[in-house]
Structure 1
Amino acid sequence: MRETGKQPMTDQSANTISFANRAAQSSQFKTIYAEGMGLVEETAAYLDGPGRAAAKVLPRMASVLYAAESMRLTTRLMQMASWLLLQRAVNNGEMSHDQVLSEKNKVRLDGFNVDRAAPGWSDLPESFRDLVERSLRLQNRISLLDREIYRPDEASIVPDNENSVQAQLNLLRTAFNAG
Structure 2
Amino acid sequence: MTTTSGAKTISFAGHAANSPQFDALYSEGMSLVETTAAYLDGPGRSAARKLRAPAAALYAGESLALTTRLMQLASWLLLQRSLNTGEMSREQVMQERRKLALGQESRSAPSAADFAELPAAFRELLEQARRLEVRIRKLDESLMRDNLLPEAGAGNQVIAQIDLLQTAFGRR
Moved more, 104-113 or 82-91: 104-113
How far did residue 119 of structure 1 move?
Answer: 5.0
In the alignment, does 2:145 pair up with 1:151? yes
- Cα drift, residue 53 of structure 1: 0.1
Distance across 2 between alignment mates of 1:112 and 1:27:
30
Aligned-pair CA distance for 1:150:
1.2
2:67 counterpart residue number: 74
SS in 1 for 2:88: coil
| 2:98 equivalent to 1:141 | no
User: How far has the Cα of 1:108 moved from its partner?
Assistant: 1.2
Amino acid at match of 2:41: D
Q: Name the structure 1 match of 2:114.
A: 120
The CA RMSD measured in Å over matched residues stands at 2.3
> Which of 58, 64, 70 is matched with 2:57 structurally?
64
Q: Cα 1:111–1:92, aligned 2, differ >3 Å: closer, same or farther?
A: same
Residues in 2 aligned to 1:113 and 1:23: alpha-carbon distance in whole angstroms: 29
SS across alignment from 2:60: helix
Report the equivalent of 2:29.
36
Q: For 1:113 and 1:19, locate their aligned partners in 2 and report how far apart those are by CA, in whole Å.
A: 31
Q: Matches of 1:118 and 1:82 in 2, distance apart?
A: 31
Q: Identity over the aligned pairs, expressed in percent?
A: 54
How far apart are the structure 1 equivalents of 2:125 and 2:92? 32
Separation of aligned partners in 2, 1:106 and 1:118: 33
Give yes or no for contact 1:79–1:108 (8 Å, CA) kept in 2. yes
In structure 2, relative to structure 1, the CA distance for the partners of 1:139 and 1:113 (3 Å cut) is: farther
1:113 CA displacement: 7.0
Structure 1 residues 1-179: aligned runs within 5 Å = 18-112=11-105, 115=109, 117=111, 120-152=114-146
In structure 1, list runs of 5 or more residues that go unmatched: 1-13, 154-167, 172-179
Query: Do the aligned residues in 2 keep the contact of 1:18 with 1:148 (CA within 8 Å)?
Result: no
Deviation of residue 39 (structure 1)?
A: 0.1
- Relative to the length of structure 1, the TM-score reads 0.73
Structure 2 residue runs without a partner (length 5+): 1-6, 150-167
**Alignment check: 8 A CA contact 1:24 1:87 kept:** yes
- Structure-2 separation of matches of 1:113 and 1:123: 22
The whole-number CA distance in structure 2 between the counterparts of 1:20 and 1:73 is 26
